[in-house]
């Protein structure tokens, strides 16, 4: 049975989550879609994860459901946690306009699948074999891995923010990293309290989950409004807002004309390596992955 206060907090949190999803969706712009899509995935997965945790709290005390449903819910929660961690790492990476190599993403995906398989094997063995110590050890090990990975990604973002040009972009990255580091520390403290004082977990955990979800979902609209500039209405405005130099503007126009890198180098009397350096700088400034996305951004 869900307490009325817990239900109220959960409803408010989910309403805030819907507002966050709408805010992120409305912010989707050409050239920044990779970041906003990963950010939206990060929000949705976190909401699903907390809902799965609520389901786990409801069914765990019920013997007629627990024997069959608890292992499945634990597997679902583990998959959501690992998927959320992946989305969060990609999001923090894209804030600094860097892109994870495809090979590294594939390797991370296979590693997550192997970890999930190991976790499911341990938890199911512990559950059906009536080994509570092994079950608790598996649960807390995964929690520590996910929280530690997210905290590390936030710390890396905080360190990379120092290298960004001073201004709104640097403040944006710092606020994002510090907020999530604080939230993760609160979650870790709650996890530690439930570990050392299991008697308080049954009452406190559901309402704390709802409060965490509410706090988490209130952040994206605020962050987007404060730190994401509105899209310029003209191409000149786009160039100015992104800090595009005169030479970079020339290269953009030649890319839109269908010129290759070598043809651009010949026309501007610069080396091919210089053209590639300009391309990389443009990809970083505009948060795009290739020449096609760059051309579409200014079309």
Residues 146 and 245 in one domain: no
Q: Please say whether the beta carbons of 209 and 8 come within 8 A.
A: no
Residues 152 and 131 in one domain: yes
pLDDT of residue 57: 66
Residues 162 and 240 in one domain: no
Report how far Cα 179 is from the mean position of its chain's Cα atoms.
13
Residues 221 and 239 in one domain: no
pLDDT of residue 205 exceeding 80: no
What backbone torsions phi and psi does residue 30 show, to the nearest 5 degrees?
A: -55, 135
Tens digit of pLDDT for each residue in 263-277?
Answer: 999 988 999 999 999
Residues 241 and 218 in one domain: no
The predicted model gives 133-157 an average pLDDT of 88
Tens digit of pLDDT for each residue in 108-121?
Answer: 888 888 988 998 88
Residues 218 and 286 in one domain: no
What is the domain-level CATH number for residue 288?
1.10.10.10
Q: Please say whether the beta carbons of 286 and 34 come within 8 A.
A: no
Q: Which of 211, 227, 243 is the last residue of a domain?
A: 227
Q: Return the number of other C-beta atoms located less than 10 Å from residue 122's C-beta.
A: 18
Structural domain count of the chain = 2
Residues 125 and 40 in one domain: yes
Q: Which of 227, 259, 276 is the last residue of a domain?
A: 227
Residues 274 and 127 in one domain: no
Domain of residue 222 covers 4-227
Residues 186 and 253 in one domain: no
């Amino acid at each position: 049975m869900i307490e009325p206060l817990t239900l109220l907090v959960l409803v408010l949190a989910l309403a805030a989550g819907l507002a966050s999803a709408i805010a992120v969706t409305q912010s989707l712009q050409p050239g920044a879609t990779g970041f906003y899509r990963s950010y939206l995935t990060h929000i949705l997965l976190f909401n699903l994860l907390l809902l799965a945790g609520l389901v786990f709290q409801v069914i765990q005390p019920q013997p007629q459901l627990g024997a069959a449903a608890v292992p499945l819910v634990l597997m679902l929660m583990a998959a959501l946690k690992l998927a959320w961690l992946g989305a969060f790492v990609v999001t923090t990476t894209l804030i600094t306009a860097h892109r994870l190599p495809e090979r590294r993403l594939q390797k991370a995906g296979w590693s997550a699948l192997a970890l999930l398989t190991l976790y499911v094997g341990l938890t199911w063995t512990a559950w059906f074999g009536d080994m509570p110590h092994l079950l608790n050890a598996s649960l807390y090990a995964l929690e520590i891995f996910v929280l530690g990975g997210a905290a590390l990604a936030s710390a890396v973002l905080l360190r990379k923010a120092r290298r960004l040009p001073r201004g709104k972009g640097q403040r944006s990255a710092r606020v994002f990293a510090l907020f999530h580091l604080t939230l993760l520390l609160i979650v870790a403290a709650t996890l530690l309290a439930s570990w050392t004082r299991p008697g308080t977990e049954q009452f406190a955990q559901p309402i704390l989950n709802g409060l965490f979800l509410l706090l988490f979902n209130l952040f994206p609209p605020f962050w987007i409004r404060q730190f994401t500039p509105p899209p310029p209405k003209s191409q000149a405005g786009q160039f100015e807002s992104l800090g595009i130099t005169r030479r970079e503007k020339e290269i953009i126009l030649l890319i839109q004309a269908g010129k290759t890198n070598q043809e651009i180098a010949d026309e501007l009397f610069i080396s091919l390596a210089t053209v590639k350096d300009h391309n990389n700088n443009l990809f970083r400034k505009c948060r795009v992955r290739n020449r096609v996305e760059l051309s579409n951004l200014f079309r």
